Structure 1
């Protein structure tokens, strides 16, 4: 399916201030960026870089005193395989590729080590595989309230278990932490998300499992607010600290981001199949 995505970000600073942005759609097998444009008003020189390990696309600028606006538009085609969830299993620890092990360890916002007992008691008896990770997502959806303002930039997965409220970022962090605690590598995904209302940057996660085509990454959204087959990836990382859409090094004021994504008007309801986003 083909999607049109856009974002507009406005900032104001009083002194020269470095910014790093991560708002551009990534390019990888299954996600093709057909057209795109990036504009900055007033014009400010930028330095671009693509992270080799993840494909995350960053650009840096030094904002002069005053205000500036960043506008990004892209046409993106997604062609992720859909698989029967019952055929997607976990990969034994001794068979995990070494390059995914970093997504099995605890990270700043995903303290899987502190949540291992909770995860094992709640989900350890379930058959390992896609359905167990889905059960984690179902528990989060049913037991954590989606509430704007209930969390902040310091809220971790451990905090969310206690507070039982948060936004997509917190839902994703908790899903990642519990999935890792069950021995399954998981990583954070920032994205444009189709059918998300209201439109905004969205957070989901991917778990490393194995299906009919072999080991790979599968998409999960504990919020159940977006169509999984319409998630346009911006960045991946161990948690949100690695894929913030804006990182500034100084004092600034900002406008509410304007984000949109448009897809097919005649598309069927959101899929219930397993969405495989990337091979091992």
Structure 2
């Protein structure tokens, strides 16, 4: 299948303001892009692209006084298959993990393993290591939390989420991946497009989505604690230790968000 994705994000600014954006499709999906991904600005300003330490594509620009509109669009080929389910995937001993994966066992800004390790082991210590353990974690988080945009807060950590029992997709991902790290399973945060493909359409305005990946049997596997079912049409944009590493935009000065529109939809052949 082919999926059309894109966004339009507008900010107001009183004075020229440097920005870093993370709005490109992830390099792991470059070969799936039909033609070229286009990211433009209005007014037109130069964007310099670079890769961050996690391999994500970032853009640097200066928003002019008055503000800026960021627009992106791409057509992406997709298998049309749901997220793979691999029940036999195994948890590797820490001494067998690649050096660059060890980072995803460590605490990070929103994922305080030190505060949740005792809780994690009390909840999941008797589960079978590997895929069954991760599935038990995802099932617990999915059942423990209530989803609602009114529960969103940019400073909320995994420990806060566990205590409050509510959050948005990033909170579901933060709590689940923190529990995984507590159980010595490397886990990283993911952000990207996830349209209503193969599921009933959600009437709420579309947003970018947050999920997570775990490292089992030598590769990364996708899990989604909010939806807790394999989904079709997931298009990765960025990965990191947690949401702090994959901020869509970072401004170095005061800017006010005035428009936020995201699309991700299957292209139906004529």
Corresponding residue of 2:256: 253
The separation in 2 between residues aligned to 1:155 and 1:182, in whole angstroms, is 22
**Shift of the alpha carbon at 1:225?**
7.2
The separation in 1 between residues aligned to 2:29 and 2:257, in whole angstroms, is 34
The separation in 1 between residues aligned to 2:141 and 2:267, in whole angstroms, is 29
Within 5 Å, give how 1:86-101 maps onto structure 2. Answer: 86-101=87-102
The separation in 2 between residues aligned to 1:49 and 1:124, in whole angstroms, is 42
1:256 to 1:134, Cα distance in 2 relative to 1, 3 A: farther
**Shift of the alpha carbon at 1:253?**
1.2
Q: Secondary structure at the match of 1:159?
A: helix
Q: Secondary structure at the match of 1:43?
A: coil
**Shift of the alpha carbon at 1:84?**
4.9
Corresponding residue of 1:16: 16
Q: Secondary structure at the match of 1:191?
A: strand
TM-score by length of 2: 0.90
Corresponding residue of 2:211: 204
Residues 98-151 of structure 1 deviation map (CA, whole Å, 9 limit, x = unaligned): 110000101010011211111111011010111211111111111111121223
**Shift of the alpha carbon at 1:263?**
2.3
The answer to whether the 8 A contact 2:194-2:209 is kept is: yes
The separation in 1 between residues aligned to 2:84 and 2:13, in whole angstroms, is 48
Q: What do you get for the CA RMSD once the two structures are aligned? A: 2.1
1:165 to 1:132, Cα distance in 2 relative to 1, 3 A: same
Corresponding residue of 2:117: 116
**Shift of the alpha carbon at 1:264?**
6.0
Residues 220-246 of structure 1 deviation map (CA, whole Å, 9 limit, x = unaligned): 110107853421011000001110001
The separation in 2 between residues aligned to 1:202 and 1:27, in whole angstroms, is 18
Unaligned runs of 5+ residues in structure 2 are: none
Corresponding residue of 1:192: 193
Within 5 Å, give how 1:198-237 maps onto structure 2. Answer: 198=204, 199-210=206-217, 215-224=218-227, 228-237=231-240
Corresponding residue of 2:66: 66
Within 5 Å, give how 1:1-280 maps onto structure 2. Answer: 1-28=1-28, 32-34=32-34, 35-51=36-52, 53-79=53-79, 84-195=85-196, 197=202, 198=204, 199-210=206-217, 215-224=218-227, 228-263=231-266
1:78 to 1:42, Cα distance in 2 relative to 1, 3 A: same
The answer to whether the 8 A contact 2:82-2:232 is kept is: no
Corresponding residue of 1:269: none
**Shift of the alpha carbon at 1:92?**
1.3
Q: Secondary structure at the match of 2:90?
A: coil
Q: Secondary structure at the match of 1:113?
A: helix
Corresponding residue of 1:275: none
Q: Which has the higher helix share?
A: 2
**Number of equivalences:** 261
Q: Secondary structure at the match of 1:228?
A: coil
The separation in 2 between residues aligned to 1:82 and 1:161, in whole angstroms, is 26
